[in-house]
Amino acid sequence: MPIAQKRILITGGAGFLGSHLSERLIAAGQDVLCVDNYFTGRRDNILHLLDDPRFEAMRHDITEPLYIEADEIYNLACPASPIHYQFDPVQTTKTSVIGAINMLGLAKRLKAKILQASTSEVYGDPALHPQPESYRGNVNPIGPRACYDEGKRCAETLFFDYYRQHNLRIRVVRIFNTYGPRMHPNDGRVVSNFIVQALKGEAITLYGDGSQTRAFCYVDDLIDGMMRMMAAPDDITGPMNLGNPVETSVAELAELVIELTGSRSKIVHRPLPIDDPIQRCPDISQARALLDWQPHTALRVGLQRTIAYFDRLLTERGEIAPAAEAAA
């Protein structure tokens, strides 16, 4: 049976997650309008989609109102890496809060469904482990991560107020660390940092003693979860954790990247950033029960694909020698 064609707006569509989501929705026969201000996103991420008649890209900052037509909205616009969201913290809060107000206003006018890309950062440095959606978090409201954490928390508040006050059809997903091809090579997140450092034979920068944990989800699994959430019945609003419930220490990740790249890089220790959460792992019982969703890609497999991507990218840019030359 042919699926009904929808017009789908993706804010932050030229970013890491947004570009994968665009690709998947187009492959599913939908029309995609990608809106991005290219702060951390890149045209390269969507270059292969630009000739597709179902795809349209528009440069726009969501802190300004947007007048377009759409049936569904995925609100992903916001820098996700600590380095980038702390670069201009006021703009980060504006993007999360004013951006959410603008997109919710648009959804209200259009009677469109709207999904918010929230984050495990709403749990801050969690006192409960693993984190269920009912946990209210332990966030420092005045620290360097607050622009992101509190911005995303306020966006959640706005989504639920529009839901209660205006009967808007909302979805809120709390995304845990996700990685894969098209992460920005300089975006400072741990997976891209370690892989790029290992491939270049540079020191691997381990912050603190590396015992802090994260749960790493491969991008394809995450996108599948987001699309299931959008397609779920309207009473499933979330917030819904989406992540891979396999806890890994950052030190273990460094060892695994060294093993998989065959790198001779050494590990060097750097100070742990302020308010860096010590433990992070999602409880995904809700996503399992309500969306029949769970990640399928093992960390080792996802890392191999991501390493292959960065290997190609850095070779094309002449930043590393082709594999054959390097082995000689």
**Catalytic sites, residue numbers:** 148
Best CA proximity match to 307, nearest among 269, 253, 270: 253
Residue 214 within binding range of ligand UDP, rule CB under 6 A: yes
- Min separation Cβ 293 and ligand UDP, Å: 21
Q: Which of 247, 245, 234 is nearest to 114 (CA)?
A: 234
Cβ neighbours for 56, distance < 8 A, ≥ 6 positions apart:
31, 32, 33, 34
User: Among residues 72 and 282, whose Cβ is nearest to ligand UDP?
Assistant: 282
Identify which of residues 119 and 213 has a Cβ nearer to ligand NAD in the complex.
119
**# of chain residues touching ligand NAD (CB under 6 A):** 28
Name the residue with tokens 């993007």.
Answer: 95
From the list 244, 233, 246, 215, the residue with the least C-alpha distance to 290 is 233
Q: In terms of C-beta distances under 8 Å and separation of at least 24 residues, what long-range contacts does 164-169 make, across chains too?
A: 166/108, 168/104, 168/107, 168/108, 168/114, 169/107, 169/112, 169/113, 169/114, 169/234
Tell me if 175 contacts ligand NAD by CB under 6 A. yes
The footprint of ligand UDP on residues 14-33 (CB under 6 A) is none
Q: For ligand UDP, what does the binding mask look like between residues 78 and 117, x meaning CB under 6 A?
A: ---xx-----------------------------------
Using the rule CB under 6 A, give the single segment among 26-34, 109-117, 268-276, 313-321 that binds ligand UDP.
268-276
Give burial (CB, 10 Å; 0-12/13-18/19+) of 325.
Answer: exposed
CA-CA distance, 166 to 110, in Å (whole number)? 12
119 binds, among ligand UDP, ligand NAD, none (CB under 5 to 8 A by kind): ligand NAD
Q: How far apart are CA 20 and CA 45, in angstroms?
A: 9
Of 70, 80, 139, 258, which lies in the binding site for ligand NAD, with binding defined by CB under 6 A?
A: 80
Contact between 76 and ligand NAD per CB under 6 A:
yes
Kindly tell me which of 177 and 261 has the beta carbon lying closer to ligand NAD: 177
- Cis check for the bond before 130: say yes or no (omega within 30 of 0): yes
What type of residue sits at position 86? Q
Distance of closest approach, residue 322 Cβ to ligand NAD, in angstroms? 27
Does 37 contact ligand NAD by CB under 6 A?
yes
Interacting residues with ligand UDP (CB under 6 A): 81-82, 177, 189-190, 193, 205-207, 212, 214, 250, 272-273, 276
Interacting residues with ligand NAD (CB under 6 A): 11-12, 14-18, 36-41, 61-63, 76-80, 95, 99, 117, 119, 175, 177-178
